[in-house]
């Protein structure tokens, strides 16, 4: 890079297409908006088509980028295949995939975890990410390459009795991140963001005591604001991270330490 070049240009996504699952709200929404603001066209996927369409309109009005809304239940293999096919047919290529869709239902006790709950948690958090990464990663390999980003959780590395299926799924996300990084090298980079406690719409269900506890437990003294995911997401999606693959990037206010 010559001294005259602007290093922030590495974070641009002009001419790229980014697909975000769980993209209509929370961290997914922030990533969709960020990608569009730096030049990417976007595919917004979630189970609720109306929410995806509303954000697509917002993206197009604010940024002028194209936005495709697609309803998809990523726990269903066929839905993943249909989502990938729709995105590729519409735009011709997908350059960035963010496997952000996630769910972590509460349960009264471990013996009361039903098969349906277990399958749902594994399906949404891991199965869908595996299938979309397989399909779109292969398309990226056959094309000009790309970047795939998983979204995990501290539950992947810090065991919790209240998040056993979820933690297992997110630990699996770490594994497939590293495995696909090798499977798709060198044309496709595969990395993962590990967010901590973020104050998205999900946090509205948290008790005042829980929120106060974050302030005491976390070195940064608070939960994350949704737009604080943007820096890590843009880094991993763009050429700014051109020498990073198989990496887990923690953005957790210091919650996790002593492990990856």
Alpha-carbon distances of 130 from 77, 170, 214, rounded to whole Å: 10, 12, 32
- Whether 243 sits among the annotated catalytic residues: the reply is no
Q: Peptide bond before 227: cis, by omega within 30 degrees of 0?
A: no
Cα dihedral: 245, 16, 76, 182 (round 10): -20
Chain-centre distance for alpha carbon 75: 15
Chain-centre distance for alpha carbon 42: 14
* 3-class DSSP string for 186-255: CCEEEEEEEECCECCHHHHHCCHHHHHHHHHHCCCCCCECHHHHHHHHHHHHCHHHCCCCCCEEEECCCC
Taking each helix axis from N to C end, the angle separating 164-183 and 115-122, rounded to the nearest 10 degrees, works out to 30
Distance CA 184, CA 126 (A): 18
Q: Which residues are catalytic?
A: 166
């Amino acid at each position: 890079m010559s001294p005259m070049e602007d290093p922030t240009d590495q974070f641009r996504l002009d001419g790229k297409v980014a697909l975000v699952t769980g993209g209509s709200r929370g961290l997914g929404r922030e990533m969709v908006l960020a990608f569009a603001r730096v030049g990417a066209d976007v595919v917004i996927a979630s189970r609720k088509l109306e929410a995806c369409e509303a954000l697509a309109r917002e993206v197009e009005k604010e940024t002028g980028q194209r936005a495709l809304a697609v309803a998809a239940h990523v726990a269903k293999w066929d839905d993943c295949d249909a989502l990938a096919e729709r995105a590729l047919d519409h735009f011709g290529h997908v350059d960035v995939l963010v496997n952000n869709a996630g769910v972590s239902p509460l349960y009264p006790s471990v013996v009361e975890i039903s098969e349906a709950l277990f399958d749902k948690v594994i399906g949404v958090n891991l199965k869908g990410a595996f299938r979309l990464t397989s399909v779109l990663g292969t398309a990226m390999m056959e094309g000009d390459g790309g970047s795939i980003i998983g979204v995990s959780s501290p539950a992947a590395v810090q065991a919790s009795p209240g998040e056993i299926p979820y933690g297992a799924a997110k630990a699996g996300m770490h594994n497939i991140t590293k495995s696909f990084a090798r499977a798709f090298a060198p044309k496709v980079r595969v990395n993962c963001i590990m967010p901590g406690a973020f104050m998205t719409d999900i946090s509205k269900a948290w008790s005042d005591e829980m929120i106060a506890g974050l302030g005491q437990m976390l070195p940064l003294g608070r939960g994350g604001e949704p737009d604080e995911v943007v820096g890590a997401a843009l880094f991993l999606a763009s050429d700014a991270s051109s020498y990073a693959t198989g990496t887990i990037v923690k953005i957790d206010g210091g919650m996790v330490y002593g492990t990856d």
